[in-house]
Structure 1
């Protein structure tokens, strides 16, 4: 059965980027592992926001080198004038009618595999809409002090979680949670 998971890497103090908007330092200690390989294998579609999609600069590079070679659904108010490069596995759909539509389309495209959600804004929308089944939080070994907080602007929500698993590498910790109740 398809599940929707929202995954992010953040600093120990909860920031997804620093005061200048940079996030590279969060991945300095990244180490590939078997769990990551399994996650990539079990993911059938990705939903992300336009900011996340354009963060790397060259959007044509997704077709050549993005780790998820699956259909991508980019939530945006306005699609770009030029459609990015695709390949036989990775297609790009710009969704302009909200998170519910993006998740619905992604679930169909995933064909029973999981749907990964990337990006702070889209993740918050997903949580507010009650559409997330699991959270995947990777904690990088750094304190940033300022920047963009992952769980800011969710004050009206109370979400209970159940820890599913913890993956530890030399430098970081990844925790998977099941969303069990949201009010």
Structure 2
């Protein structure tokens, strides 16, 4: 793949989601690894690669949009009670996937 920005801080991964998450974990070290919401988050949940889901709740009704994770193959997915962090204009909700503690999986973020 040709890419005009050789110093860009990301890598194209074409051999699957599991490989991408593994590579991201290696680069991140002790830091968190995040995946975008939507179909990528659904695939990561179905593959057992997520341990936490973040939802940023803003008081606006849009009237349409894309579901957070779409149709899960392995539903239902149990979540913990949310950890709630409130700030001006947004409430951040953090759910542990499976109700357990944070492990080595990635996190899905919805902004």
TM-score, normalised to structure 1's length? Answer: 0.48
**Structure 1 equivalent of residue 54 of structure 2:** 136
Mapped to 2, the partners of 1:164 and 1:149 lie a distance apart of 19
Mapped pair 1:84 → 2:5: yes
From the superposition, tell whether residues 119 and 83 of structure 1 become closer, same or farther in structure 2 (CA, over 3 Å). farther
CA contact (8 A) 1:84 1:92 kept: no
| Structure 2 counterpart SS, 1:108 | helix
Q: Shift in Å at residue 170 of structure 1?
A: 2.7
Structure that is richer in strand per residue = 1
Report if the CA contact (8 A) 2:39-2:69 is conserved: no
Displacement after TM superposition at 1:96 (Å) = 0.5
Q: Which residue of structure 1 lines up, in the alignment, with residue 87 of structure 2?
A: 169
Alpha-carbon deviation of 1:109? 1.0
Q: CA deviation at 1:171?
A: 1.8
Q: For residue 12 of structure 2, give the secondary structure of its aligned residue in structure 1.
A: strand
Partner of 1:48: none
Distance 1:164 1:83 in 2: 42
In structure 2, C-alpha distance between the alignment counterparts of 1:114 and 1:177, rounded to whole Å: 15
More helix by share: 1
- Structure 1 residues without counterparts, runs of 5 or longer: 1-78
The answer to whether 1:111 aligns with 2:29 is yes
TM-superposed CA distance for 1:118, in Å, is: 2.1
Distance 1:93 1:135 in 2: 23
